[in-house]
Each structure stands twice: as C-alpha cells, then as structure tokens.
C-alpha cells in the first residue's frame, strides 16, 4: 500500500488565552499567563484556588438554547472549535466528501460539569425531576466527536480516544494514520476539556498534584524551575484539520505544516508518575523520529510536556538521552507555563502551536523561568518568544497510567 503524506490545513482553538486560534497564538507569543483566581465555583476552602479558565465563551453565538441543553461545555467547545478549524481550512462552505471525512476527538474527563450538576439536582428533586433526558448524551466523551459529525454531516471514521494527558495527541496521531493508509481523506482531530469544577479540582488537589501559589496565579505554572510546586489545571479545546497532501495541493489549500511522524507507547510503571529514567518517553520520541525517517539532529524545536512538576526533570533527561549532543542546540519550551495544563486537550493545542511556530518562524517561550532547576538544563526559550525558523518540531504528551504520545511536524514548503 502506498503511504500518503498528511497536511495540516486548519486549526481551531478555545483556550484560557483566547476564544480562537489567533487570540491564543497572540497570547502565547506575548508570554501572557491565562492563570487567575477561580471564578466558576467557590474554591475558598480548597488548598488550590487558581486555574486557567476559559472566559467569555458564549454558547449562544454557536447554538440555539435547545442544543445547549444537550451538550456539556466540553462538547460545546469542541463543536465551536470545529467551525473555526473548518473555516481556517477553507472547508466550512465547501465541505469535503462526507464518507471520506472522519472525526477523532477525545477528552480526559468528559462531562464532569454535567455529572456534578445532575447529582445535586438528583439529591434535591429526585430522579423524575432531577435528571434530564439529555444527561447521558451531554456527558459521554464520544459525543464531542459525535456532535461534530452530526453538525457537519461527516460520515467517515468516528472515534474518541481517552488517554489522560495524551488524549488529543493520540487523537491526532491516529487520525494521521487513517489518512496515511487511505481510510479517510480528511480528519477533524484533537481534544476538548471543561474541567474547572469542585470535584475535578478537589481530586487533583487531594492527590497533591496542583500548585498552591494562590497569591501569585500568573507565576504558578513554572515548568523547569527549582521552585515549581505542581501543575495548574486548565481547560479548552484544540482541533486540527488533517488532509491528504495531494488533495490539499490540488484544491490550493493553505498548508500550515506537514505531520510526518507519530508514536505511542506505555511506561508500564505507575498510575501517575513517569518511569524515573524517562524510558517510555525516550522510546516514544525515538519511534516518532523513526516513523518520519528523520534524524534527531534535524529537529529544531520541542514543545515539551513540561507540567511544572517533578516530571520536568525526567523529560529533560529523556530528551538528552534521545538527542545526545544535539540537545544543547535544541529550542525547547512549555506552553503550559501560560495555558496551564489542559489535560485531555493539551496535546492538540500544543501540536497546533507547533504547526503555527513552524509556519510563522516564531517559537513560544517558557515564562516564569526565574530560577532554573539544575536538573533541567536545556534551552527553554526563557521569558520571551524567539524568532527562528526550524524545519521540524516535536510535541510531547505523557499521561497518567504511563501513556505516551509524540507528534513530529515538518515546516510546509
């Protein structure tokens, strides 16, 4: 079977830095933090009272009230971002063939807003009046992709990956394979998350995973520093349009980047912590390079998983093991320093930012890098974005349970 090349021809984002791709990109390149005091519920009794919330999203700009009742916010974000991504790709009006267009959109936690709200309603009103008939369709993870396919009439492969913080990177990678091996011509791929709730924040706080820097929210997400004290929860959605390269060229599409390599594997080590040697991450990065047929020395930029936890040092070690002497020439940054950790949508937002970095010749910074950890000794593009054209960019996503995904993008000719 002839393997096809895969183009990225559209992006759509809703993040703590903005309600579309351009607002998000501008915030990232400006080094602006999207972290602030929580407004979505009263967190005053919790040890962590900060998060990276999506603010200002108005679902009535996209849906009627009838549809809003049927969709948890994580689904609303996904459908709204799909319109943005398809418009960016020039496919909103001129839709691709339905049977050859698929949707792979996942989530880590799904409709936790709906679960919390309905549980309270059940206790107050009983099951007859307390549970909406839309309860299950509003919360299950596959309805993010399902609603996208319904709204746009796409009848190709439809799947929702759930793999913690690697979710949306896996979604993009598996969509890449669907096009590469001819199962589809166009794919809408990525992840979505609406997680700033008392239950989800409380769960991560109980696991002692979150930063408690409540007095300095914009300084809280500080990957690779000696003073990092946990990640900052975020939410939002990132989608990309992947397309058969020849089809994209034939229709004169704006090709943002090419997706050339993908790998997925497991640490098989621990439910939350990575392998201390970063072995799983090392293997995953090597496999992505191998899939692309690209040498390690060709990579110019890595958007690191970089969560502002102890795992930052493990990832740094893994990068050094894979790239050897070239590691000192790499440009590495963590956009989580600005966006927080978007959980199931982190990989797709970060992958999309890699594509824009390649296309625009600007590499995102790592903000708050005031006191670098000696164990984190790469060039993390501190404080300010860097104008530099590179040929290849790698996006790393490593999740709870030891699940890993790496995406390798190439600058479009």
How remote is the C-alpha of 309 from its chain's centroid?
Answer: 18
Residues 6 or more apart whose Cβ sits within 8 Å of residue 268:
280, 402
Q: What is the pLDDT of residue 1?
A: 66
Q: What is the pLDDT of residue 273?
A: 87
Compute the distance between CA of residue 315 and CA of residue 276 in angstroms, rounded to an integer. 9
- Across 258-269, average pLDDT: 96
- Give the pLDDT band (50/70/90) at residue 413: confident
Q: What percent of the chain has pLDDT over 70?
A: 100
Q: Is the pLDDT of residue 205 over 70?
A: yes
- Give the pLDDT band (50/70/90) at residue 320: very high
- Across 202-225, average pLDDT: 97
Question: Is the separation of the CB atoms in 257 and 230 below 8 Å?
Answer: no
Compute the distance between CA of residue 172 and CA of residue 106 in angstroms, rounded to an integer. 10
- Across 284-305, average pLDDT: 98
Q: Is the pLDDT of residue 408 over 80?
A: yes
Q: Is the pLDDT of residue 228 over 80?
A: yes
- Give the pLDDT band (50/70/90) at residue 159: very high
- Give the pLDDT band (50/70/90) at residue 334: very high
Q: In the chain, what are the domains?
A: 7-250 (3.40.47.10), 262-411 (3.40.47.10)
pLDDT digits (tens, 9 = 90+) for 377-392: 999 999 999 999 999 9
Compute the distance between CA of residue 379 and CA of residue 358 in angstroms, rounded to an integer. 18
Average pLDDT in the chain: 97
pLDDT digits (tens, 9 = 90+) for 110-135: 999 999 999 999 999 998 899 999 99
- Across 226-250, average pLDDT: 98
Q: Write down the pTM of the prediction.
A: 0.97
Q: Any idea which residues carry the catalytic annotation?
A: 165
Q: Is the pLDDT of residue 17 over 80?
A: yes
What is the SS3 assignment for the chain?
CCCCCEEEEEEEEEECCECCHHHHHHHHHHCCCCCEECCCCCCCCCCCCEEECCCCCCHHHCCCHHHHCCCCHHHHHHHHHHHHHHHHCCCCCCCCCHHHEEEEEECCCCCHHHHHHHHHHHHHHHHHHHCCCCHHHHHCCHHHHHHHHHHHCCCCCEECCCCHHHHHHHHHHHHHHHHHCCCCCEEEEEEEECCCCHHHHHHHHHCCCECCCCCCHHHHCCCCECCCCCECEECEEEEEEEEEHHHHHHCCCCCCEEEEEEEEEECCCCCCCCCCCCHHHHHHHHHHHHHHCCCHHHEEEEECCCCCCCHHHHHHHHHHHHHHHHHHHCEEECCHHHHCECHHHHHHHHHHHHHHHHHHCEECCECCCCCECCCCCCCCCECCCEECCCCEEEEEEEEHHHEEEEEEEEECC
């Amino acid at each position: 079977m002839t393997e096809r090349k895969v183009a990225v021809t559209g992006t759509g984002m809703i993040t703590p830095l903005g309600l579309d791709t351009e607002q998000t990109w501008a915030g990232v390149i400006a080094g602006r933090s999207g972290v602030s005091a929580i407004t979505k519920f009263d967190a005053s009794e919790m040890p962590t009272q900060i998060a990276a919330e999506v603010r200002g999203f108005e679902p009535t700009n996209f849906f009627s009230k009838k549809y809003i009742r049927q969709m948890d916010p994580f689904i609303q974000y996904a459908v709204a971002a799909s319109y943005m991504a398809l418009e960016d790709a020039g496919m909103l009006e001129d839709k691709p063939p339905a049977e050859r267009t698929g949707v792979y959109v996942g989530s880590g936690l799904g409709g936790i807003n709906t679960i919390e709200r309905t549980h309270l309603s059940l206790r107050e009103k009983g099951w007859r009046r307390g549970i909406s008939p839309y309860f299950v369709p509003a919360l299950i993870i596959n309805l993010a992709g399902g609603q996208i396919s319904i709204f746009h009439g796409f009848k190709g492969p439809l799947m929702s990956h759930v793999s913690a913080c690697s979710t949306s990177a896996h979604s993009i990678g598996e969509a890449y394979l669907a096009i590469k091996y001819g199962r589809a011509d166009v794919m809408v791929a990525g992840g979505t998350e609406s997680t700033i709730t008392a239950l989800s924040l409380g769960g991560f706080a109980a696991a002692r995973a979150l930063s408690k820097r409540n007095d300095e929210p914009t300084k809280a997400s500080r990957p690779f520093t000696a003073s990092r004290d946990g990640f900052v929860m975020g939410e939002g959605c990132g989608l990309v349009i992947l397309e058969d390269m020849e089809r994209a060229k034939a229709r004169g599409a704006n090709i943002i980047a090419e997706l050339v390599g993908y790998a997925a594997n497991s640490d098989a080590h621990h439910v939350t912590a990575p392998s201390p040697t970063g072995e799983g991450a090392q293997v995953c990065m090597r496999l992505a390079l191998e899939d692309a047929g690209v040498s390690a020395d060709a990579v110019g930029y890595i958007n690191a998983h970089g969560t502002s936890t102890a795992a930052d040092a493990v990832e740094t070690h893994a990068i050094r093991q894979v790239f050897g002497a070239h590691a000192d020439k790499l440009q590495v940054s963590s956009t989580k320093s600005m966006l927080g950790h978007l959980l199931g949508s982190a990989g797709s937002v970060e992958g999309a930012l890699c594509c824009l970095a390649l296309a625009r010749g600007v590499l995102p910074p790592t903000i708050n890098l005031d006191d670098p950890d000696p164990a984190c000794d790469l060039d993390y593009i501190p404080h300010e974005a860097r104008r530099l054209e590179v040929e290849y960019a790698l996006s790393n996503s490593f999740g709870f349970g030891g699940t890993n995904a790496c995406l390798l993008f190439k600058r479009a000719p």
